[in-house]
Amino acid sequence: MSCLAVQYDGYIATDEWPFVAGGDPTPEQFDLIRHLINAEQLGIQMVRDGVIAGEVVRKIRDYFAENGLTRYDLYPPIHGNGLAEAESPYPDEHTRTLSRKAWA
C-alpha cells in the first residue's frame, strides 16, 4: 500500500493505492486489488451533494461482505479528510451527515 498525504491551506487529504512489489501479483492478490478498486468506484459513484455519508459506507461494506472480504475491511471509507492525517470523524454506516459538493 502506498499512501500520499497532501496538505493545502491547513487541510490534509490522504490517498492510498494498493500494489504488489517485486513481481507480478498472484491471482489472489490481483483479485483483492480488483475488489478494492471496485469498492472505491462504488463510493465515488455515490458521493454527491445531499447523499447521506452512512449510505456510502454501507454500500462499500455490503460489497466487501458480499465478496467475503469483511475481515480485510480495516478502516471506514471517507476517513482521512480533516485537519490532520486520518483525523476523525470517521463516518460509519450509522452516520447521518449529508455529503457536500466539496467531496465530489
Give the number of domains in the chain: 1
Give the domain range for residue 67: 2-103
Q: 30-39, 55-64, 95-104: lowest mean pLDDT where?
A: 95-104
- Prior bond to 89 cis, omega within 30? yes
**More confident of the two residues 70 and 89:** 70
Euclidean distance between CA atoms 39 and 44, whole angstroms = 9
Asked whether the predicted pLDDT for residue 30 surpasses 80, the reply is yes
Helix residue ranges per DSSP H, 25-71? 27-46, 53-66
Domain of residue 85, CATH code: 3.90.230.10
Asked whether the predicted pLDDT for residue 81 surpasses 70, the reply is no
Euclidean distance between CA atoms 80 and 54, whole angstroms = 16
Asked whether the predicted pLDDT for residue 32 surpasses 80, the reply is yes
